[in-house]
Structure 1
């Protein structure tokens, strides 16, 4: 379950970083972002990328395996965001809501499932 949490956090991070770019922001929201919003999205993306490494380290234990697996997860998430921007840019709100909900569930669910 931690691998999925890492993937969802990476997806949210790359979506935030894509929204921080004026071109993608205008493509998705119809207007250019302000400077404050750009910095907020960049910081959010960077923090989420940093947090996405944590579940991978816990799941795999060995730092070398965890980092190489996390790099693979980063690639999958970046590809998913790139495909969403290219082919399904109208669905970004739906994917954002779904990924946010999934992240919350993946964080909270183990608390209730633990004996």
Structure 2
């Protein structure tokens, strides 16, 4: 697995996962929808999807670099994804959702391509 491709996949999945987790919070959900509270079913779905995406990012990292280095790299990608989400939610909340969708597609497509190649 190419380290550069694995990095792009891990960053994209981390960003999309962090965006999903942030949208499960009332404050950020209200920013985008105007609804004061996240419906319970949507909250569970967003949390589950965000968590699965973060685990997929971990798998991409450990597959590319092994367990020790991959886990450390994953923490770095989690941090980068979280910072990107925090910045975009503060300044461009609507664009953060659109870019999270694009990152999700890129991450899943790239991850699938890596899985088929390896």
TM-score higher than 0.5 = yes
Residue 71 of structure 1: CA displacement? 0.5
Distance in structure 1 (CA, Å) of the matches to 2:8 and 2:59: 12
Aligned to 1:6: 10
- Tell me, in whole angstroms, the C-alpha distance in 2 between the residues paired with 1:72 and 1:111: 22
Unaligned runs of 5+ in 1: none
Is 2:86 the partner of 1:82?
yes
Q: Could you say if the C-alpha distance between residues 56 and 111 of structure 1 is closer, same or farther in structure 2, counting changes exceeding 3 Å?
A: closer
Give the gaps of 5 or more residues in structure 2: none
d(CA) in 2 for partners of 1:111, 1:65: 19
**2:19–2:97: 8 Å Cα contact kept in structure 1?**
no
State the aligned residue count: 112
5 Å-filtered alignment, 1:43-82, equals 43-61=48-66, 63-82=67-86
Say which SS state the counterpart of residue 64 (structure 1) adopts: helix
Distance 1:108 1:47 in 2: 15
Do the aligned partners of residues 56 and 110 (structure 1) sit closer, same or farther apart at CA in structure 2, a change above 3 Å counting? closer
